[in-house]
Structure 1
């Protein structure tokens, strides 16, 4: 196969922009985070060859259509189902970063795991918001980064007159310390492709979810990746892994990557970890290994 870029039409008629690297074997489908794009995985499309690696822009993001409908994680999960239909493979490996992990969790809840060979979750708390019914210990373990009123205030700021500044400040907080200028301009350039009228309601829906009850029912081989320098606590990633039967966890130390974006900051290290995990899935006989 040769690399291709194509449009996938969802069941409700929304055009999604998809890139397929044309590799071999079970496809690895990469799901980006809130207000980001498939371009976040520019180092994985080639860096994880000879595997077949696919990334796509979710509705409202990147080069995909930007309707004012379906701005909910559950609809994004249905869009993933439509992408799986388009890819056509009996099973796929799924990697979700940030909100992309939430989309996968929603997909598992709604549609089950029959079409999933393995799962990789990158730097996503099981609950973004400190829910009112959580104890302080539960909030800490889940990795909640905002109080409920904080989520509402952030969404309102993003939707407001100075929304671009609010988004820039929020995304900048995902990096620890200095950020390479070229990397920052790339990230913020991709962020700008998501209109604020879309970013605000989607962030509110995404942030309001509590996925803890889903995790113990996951029955596919799973890797959880965190980063010491991220705004998402490494402890929350260990907690996610502890709730998923048989899951593995890898935390990048600060000297390797120091942000919410380890696949951009140190793609070689990130790709090694993901490839090593997928090779164990290959070797366990879950499918034919990549040649």
Structure 2
């Protein structure tokens, strides 16, 4: 189930530093029904829009190379989820289901009746929650990037189920991480958490960029959201995803590529692409090698025939 027909460029030094290409990008704001301000960017292109959701503790800046780099004509929308980036940081609503409602309100405000959806890390979980609650009727194609089907290995899972789901923590480990993030050494814990998502020796500036983005999420927002995120088990949602789907993993990520294979096997007719380490070797392939990442995603989204 490997996506074929795309020539992948190898990693190109510090190409990620180039940032976004100037274009018709607009910055907008949405106030949700519970009074939270969300900041989003809209590239203003034509065609089927692509809505991209970032991961826990990160921001829409993760997609700096996709906002206008995927295609000169494609409309790309990104957003800082509540508690992240430039968006509001209220003292309520830090649940995946609430974030999915926020995304529904965003696509409603932008009048997106038909769109492609891409999630990375926790952003995939937000889309799974969106589909679970609101269906897939408005989603044309779906791209899931490097997210386990269940992050926490709960005791009632068998060892095989824990491996398939891609569980990263056991329950005790999750509790310890939350306490450390909320504690006096929370900053060091955040930095160690970020470093653990890279293999080998990452580019220092890229690592610093990712580590800086995570500082925008305060512990009172990040810790309960992380707990809720890790406590979810999306395996029952996967067989009910009825839109063409591409699952992307990375050999160098802390997320086991085997878990991405499991997800692709559970979603009917899904495709799988795993980046080898000579192309990207982290949880951030879209930053590490944007040309390779964009080529894989663009080819999938450009296809007209249903899978």
Could you tell me whether the CA contact under 8 Å between 1:164 and 1:196 is conserved in 2? no
1:65 and 2:88 are equivalent in the alignment: yes
Q: Matched residues in 1 for 2:55 and 2:137: separation?
A: 24
Task: Determine if the alignment matches structure 1 residue 255 to structure 2 residue 278.
Answer: yes
Q: CA deviation at 1:12?
A: 1.2
Matched, 1:26 2:48: yes
Partner of 2:233: 210
**Distance in 2 separating the partners of 1:260 and 1:285:** 29
Decide whether aligned partners of structure 1 residues 133 and 8 sit closer, same or farther in structure 2, where only a CA change above 3 A counts.
same
In the TM superposition, what whole-angstrom CA distance separates every residue of 1:44-97 from its partner, at most 9, and x where no partner exists? 011112200010000000000001110000000000101110121211101000
Equivalent residue number for residue 8 of structure 1: 30
Whether 1:145 and 2:168 are equivalent positions in the alignment is: yes
Q: 1:182 aligns to what?
A: 205
Structure 1: how far apart are the matches of 2:36 and 2:206?
30
SS class of match (1:47): coil
Q: Specify which of 242, 259, 276 is matched with residue 265 of structure 2.
A: 242
Please, what is the CA RMSD of the aligned residues?
Answer: 1.2
Quick check: 1:284 aligned with 2:305?
yes
Structure 1 pair 258/285, CA: closer, same or farther in 2 (3 Å)?
Answer: closer
Residue of 218, 221, 229 corresponding to 2:252: 229
Counterpart of 2:66 in structure 1 is 44
Q: Would you say the 8 A contact 2:244–2:306 is kept in 1?
A: no
Q: Which string of whole-angstrom CA distances, capped at 9 and with x for unpartnered residues, describes residues 126-169 of structure 1?
A: 00011111100110111101101111110111011111111111
Distance in 2 (alpha carbons) for counterparts of 1:46 and 1:107: 25
Distance in 2 separating the partners of 1:247 and 1:206:
23
Secondary structure of the structure 2 residue equivalent to 1:284: coil
Q: CA–CA distance in 1 between the matches of 2:306 and 2:179?
A: 49
Deviates more, 1:220-229 or 1:163-172: 163-172
TM-score, normalised relative to structure 2: 0.91
Structure with greater contact order relative to length (CA < 8 Å, sep ≥ 6)? 2
- Give the structure-1-normalised TM-score: 0.96
Write out aligned runs for 1:133-172 (5 A). 133-172=156-195
In structure 1, runs of 5+ residues without a counterpart are 287-291
